[in-house]
Structure 1
């Protein structure tokens, strides 16, 4: 049976799933969700995902939302030998911590700062911008002396975080002034399988959306 992914190309969480699928050489049956026309609020979608968010994965009767749950599920089921989500307890705990840092700190703070500007025309909030900078400083510390965010090898933590951090390119937040973050960013861009197709195309679409809404 096909693995269905309900998604929006510009969404960072959706791009994290696409990156993981490419790293696992999985073919997903992509189903575009038209948020503008409320497809995510239709009964058939709410049955799959009561949160009415994207992405949503449907695999052999399992409907799963939350991108970080989706990417770990995909590795657990289809790519345990890939190393993307280590089975050893300490290594996995570190990957999990980075994933929780992404959703609970870095991406959350960025969302609270930037999305009100894009979608509600709100002015930039200096205090919220400072919180994003603080999260980037923490990420920079995590990367000190490490090639990847959770150690020597590429993991789903890198794929989730690169989807988040790359989105900063559409904002006024300069993450590249953090030396370790910049180095890691360039490393993942060149080593994550299918990076251009899985992330850059969606990022370009998001940048175009931001640009059009700022006119």
Structure 2
């Protein structure tokens, strides 16, 4: 029996947790929640998570939400977790910092830029918010250059799952919608993106299927 996983494919945090579960070989019992239909506000889900956030997991009675905490839990629960989430304090702190960068800067800026307009809460796109997203992408590109090819060091870690889920969503929006125009100059991340998918084909297959649902939504 797998870990109950409450999610919605359109959500980058949900997809980052899915990527981590796949990488660690953790079996999930996926339970789709349609946020647009308000399914996350139903009493049965509120009893599990009163903050009604996704993703949320229920691992045999242990309930946890916030995607980055879930990813860290998966890593700490896996016998192979240290490979992607190092125990050495400095290396682990760098991984954590990059994940918090995704939480507080990269994903947050994209969310504040795109979601209000996409769901009709703002009448037009805000160019200042767009510039903030572009700045976050440039910062990430610099991190990868300094680290040696990955988000938090010279090899793949769980921080790559968090950041790539956010950037993949931005990429889809760039190519299929009006949110972004033109090609961005982020050579280090472009190389990282290709390397990540080239070294993790199973993860790529899962991620591309989910990204297709975003294209259809847009």
Q: Calculate the TM-score normalised by the size of structure 1.
A: 0.91
Aligned to 1:207: 215
Which residue of 2 is the match for residue 188 of structure 1?
196
SS at match of 2:37: coil
Name the counterpart of 1:109. Answer: 109
C-alpha displacement of 1:122: 3.0
TM-score (norm 2): 0.90
CA distance in 2 between partners of 1:175 and 1:155 (Å): 27
CA gap of 1:31–1:50, structure 2 versus 1, over 3 A, is same
Maintained 8 Å contact 1:12/1:164: yes
Extract structure 1 runs of 4+ deviating beyond 3 A. Answer: 79-82, 173-176
2:92 aligned with 1:83: no
Rounded Cα–Cα distance in structure 1 between residues aligned with 2:71 and 2:3: 13
User: Per the alignment, do residues 174 and 72 of structure 1 end up closer, same or farther by CA in structure 2, a change over 3 Å counting?
Assistant: farther
Backbone CA RMSD of aligned residues: 1.6
Number of aligned residue pairs: 210
The alignment status of 1:135 with 2:136, answered yes or no, reads yes
Structure 2: segments with no counterpart, 5+ residues? 174-178
Change (3 A) 1:175 1:73: farther
Alpha-carbon offset, residue 197 of structure 1: 3.3
What is the match of residue 68 of structure 1? 68
Residues 99, 161 of structure 1: 8 Å contact kept: yes
> What CA distance in whole angstroms lies between the structure 2 residues aligned with 1:124 and 1:209?
18
Highest RCO, 1 vs 2 (Cα 8 Å, sep ≥ 6): 1
Distance 1:202 1:73 in 2: 23
SS at match of 1:29: strand
Aligned partner of 1:44 in structure 2 is 44
Gaps of 5+ in 1: 211-215
